Amino acid sequence: MFDLRQFAAIAPECYQKLHWHEQLESTNDEAQRLADEGAEHGTVVLAEYQTRGRGRRGAGWMCEPGDGLLFSVVLRPQFGKDYYGRIALVAGLGIASVLIDELAIPARVKWPNDIQINGKKCCGVLVEANNDCVVLGVGLNVLNAPGDDGFIAINDVVSEPVSREKILALVLAAVMREVDQCAEDFSSQLNRIEAISWLNGKNITFLSAGHQHQGTAEGIAEDGSLIVRTNGGVRQFAQASDIRCVN
Ligand code: BTN
């Protein structure tokens, strides 16, 4: 069970209040409900287990009770909606940076919202915007990953097990810092993302707007879209799914 007292002793100042639940349908839904009631920027909802955890594009998010961190943060950005497309990317940057800098894990950001370790997914970010508020949801595999071979957990790659309390404290501080800076400092954040991008330079296939595409990932544009060199020239894709490396 998540140790709230241990977390309180090391929690960053940036978060407002932690709402812990043994079980929820989705922490994003509960965070949105609290936001609708006026919850402040930095309010966090954390669940041991979700019965209907969701990912992007209708996918689910599976995690056995206590195996990971399943949380959502209410954000009331000081910047306009034009910048909301950056939030998932910079949140991923913050999370990956914690894994790299604090735990010496070779984490990589996989555009648009995954964090990978050794080519397997350890974390997904789901950003949902409504009215003047944004809910940022994070699913991070800490103790164990789901059985599917495409997933990995932090404790699969560290020599000493890490506590979920410590990781949440570090990740919350990093995510809030990166999000707060993303309107003004996105160029330098992009440079940091490029340095740890899983896709950069790789030949990829993906789906966008109902079409299958193939090309070489060349970077991320200022608006957060993926730059791909295709047979038809260099193109930018704001949305894509099912991104696979072909070599
Ligand atoms: C993805 O990889 O497509 C994003 C996955 C996001 C999962 C997290 S778990 C906590 C929060 N609540 C949800 O229902 N989803 C996000």
Ligand 1 touching residue 72 (CB < 6 A): yes
Ligand 1 touching residue 141 (CB < 6 A): no
Residues in the chain: 247
Average pLDDT, the chain: 94
Q: What whole-number percentage of the chain has pLDDT above 70?
A: 100
| b/e burial code for range 3-28 (CB count within 10 A of at least 16 → b) | eeeebeeebbebbeebbeeeebebbb
Top mutation candidate among 126, 152, 168 for ligand 1, by most atoms within 8 Å of CB: 126
Residues whose CB falls within 8 Å of the CB of residue 126, separated by 6 or more in sequence, listed in order: 28, 54, 55, 56, 61, 88, 113, 136, 137, 138, 139
Model confidence pLDDT, tens digit, residues 123-146: 999 999 987 899 999 999 999 999
Q: Look-up: residue for tokens 């896709």?
A: 199
Q: How far is the CA of 53 from the centre of ligand 1 (A)?
A: 6
Q: Domain coordinates of the chain in residue numbers?
A: 4-195, 203-245
Pairing of strands 114-117, 44-50: unpaired
Model confidence pLDDT, tens digit, residues 61-120: 999 999 999 999 999 999 999 899 899 999 999 999 999 999 999 999 999 999 999 999
Ligand 1 touching residue 139 (CB < 6 A): yes
Please report the atom of ligand 1 found closest to the CA of residue 52.
14
Output the pLDDT for position 14.
73
Closest CA to 3 of 209, 210, 163, 187: 163
- Please name the residue ranges forming H helices in the chain: 4-10, 27-36, 87-103, 164-181, 186-195
Taking the C-alpha atoms of residue 124 and residue 83, their distance in angstroms, rounded to an integer, is 20
Output the pLDDT for position 148.
77
* Position with higher pLDDT, 78 vs 147: 78
Question: Is the pTM higher than 0.85?
Answer: yes
CATH top-level class for 4-195? alpha beta
Q: How far is the CA of 162 from the centre of ligand 1 (A)?
A: 21
4-195 and 203-245 share one CATH topology? no
Ligand 1 touching residue 26 (CB < 6 A): yes
Output the pLDDT for position 151.
96
Please report the atom of ligand 1 found closest to the CA of residue 28.
12
The average pLDDT across 209-217 equals: 95
Looking at the DSSP assignment, which residues form a beta bridge with residue 68? Answer: 141
Top mutation candidate among 25, 51, 57, 61 for ligand 1, by most atoms within 8 Å of CB: 61
CA distances from 117 to 82, 185, 189, 224 (A): 31, 26, 20, 22
Q: Does domain 203-245 have CATH number 3.30.360.10?
A: no
Measured CA angle at 209 (ends 229, 192), to 5 deg: 50
Residue 10 clears pLDDT 80, i.e. is over it: yes
Output the pLDDT for position 197.
95
Look at ligand 1, atom 16, and give the residue with the nearest C-alpha.
Answer: 137
Taking the C-alpha atoms of residue 46 and residue 43, their distance in angstroms, rounded to an integer, is 10
Taking the C-alpha atoms of residue 94 and residue 98, their distance in angstroms, rounded to an integer, is 6
